[in-house]
Amino acid sequence: MSSASLSPSTELFSASSPASVDPLSGGSKADQVLLFGGYDLWRNGVSNYAGLHWATNGLNDDGFILRLSMSNGLDSYRTRSRTYTTEIFRAALLPGWRFKRGEFEVKLFVGPDFENHKLTPDSLTAKWRGAHLGLRIAAETWAQPIPELMLAASFYAATIASGYGFRAAAGWRLIDAFWLGPELSGSRDEFSRQTRFGIHLTGLQSGPFEWSAAFGYVRDSFGRCGGYGRLATQMRL
């Protein structure tokens, strides 16, 4: 037996919020590049991710966008006699478009997806062992119905292992420094499903970096459960 479903895809967390800084920096040229990265941990797995988000018209304007994301995750499933480990490397190059109307924005993406699965102990007959190419679609929304309240949601679906996932979050603006509130996320593929519920802190500015963090409870279809934690950062260029 092998376990292959790790934490929800990086598409759920890669760009946690629109940066709440002046749209112009370093002169009159709008920022076009957003670098992001993060770390996700629970007792049966760990993953790290990083990527780049490029917007031709600037990060705050409508128009063409391109996202490159990569992640590497390790998941363990333990029985009385053996521990099965799955390592998954993921990469996706997703062109898309950003639409913004007032305090509401949506980003839509579609593009090629790559995964490589390494199993320990190895299983030559495992369906998804080794490298695989596929297609991925993703969507993100962000809204501020009032200045003190944020609502965010994201979704992805992939042809590899018929995977899909979502995240929904709400937050209240505290001391005009960050958002704090609940989050709910889930993912599913041919191997398993996972559900998370927790608290997130989003948009804490420190110099050129914007930080986000989350912690909460996770459970999967193998009956494993426990706490999870996530730390991420992003920087505009």
Question: If you write DSSP's letter for every residue of the chain in order, what string do you get?
Answer: ------SPPGGGTSS-S---S-SB-SSSSBP-EEEEEEEEEETTEEEEEEEEEEETT-TTSSEEEEEEEEEEEEEEEE-SS-EEEEEEEEEEEEEEEEEEETTEEEEEEEEEEEEEEEEES--TT-TT-EEEEEEEEEEEEEEEEETTEEEEEEEEEESGGG-EEEEEEEEEEETTTEEEEEEEEEEE-SS-EEEEEEEEEEEEEETTEEEEEEEEEEEETTS-EEEEEEEEEEEE-
- Tell me the pLDDT tens digit for each residue of 40-91: 999 999 999 999 999 999 998 999 999 999 999 999 888 888 888 999 999 9
CATH superfamily of the domain spanning 10-236:
monomeric porin ompg (2.40.160.40)
pLDDT value of position 14: 55
Query: In sequence order, which residues have a C-beta less than 8 Å from that of residue 125 and are 6 or more positions away?
Result: none
Q: What is the CA radius of gyration of the chain?
A: 18
Q: Which of 17, 6, 111, 4 is nearest to 49 (CA)?
A: 6
How far apart, in Å, do the first and last CA atoms of the chain sit? Answer: 45
pLDDT value of position 2: 43
225-236 and 33-42 beta bridge pairing: antiparallel
Contact 50, 34 (CB under 8 A): no
Amino acid making up residue 61? D
Q: Which of 11, 72, 12, 6 is nearest to 222 (CA)?
A: 6
pLDDT value of position 20: 44
Which two three-digit tokens encode residue 14? Answer: 């890669």
pLDDT value of position 93: 98
Q: Which of 13, 7, 1 is nearest to 167 (CA)?
A: 13
pLDDT value of position 128: 78
Q: Which residues pair with 149 in a beta bridge?
A: 146, 172
Q: How far apart are CA 120 and CA 122, in angstroms?
A: 5
Instruction: List the chain residues with pLDDT less than 70.
Output: 1-29
Q: Where are the domains of the chain?
A: 10-236
Task: Please tell me the pTM assigned to this model.
Answer: 0.86
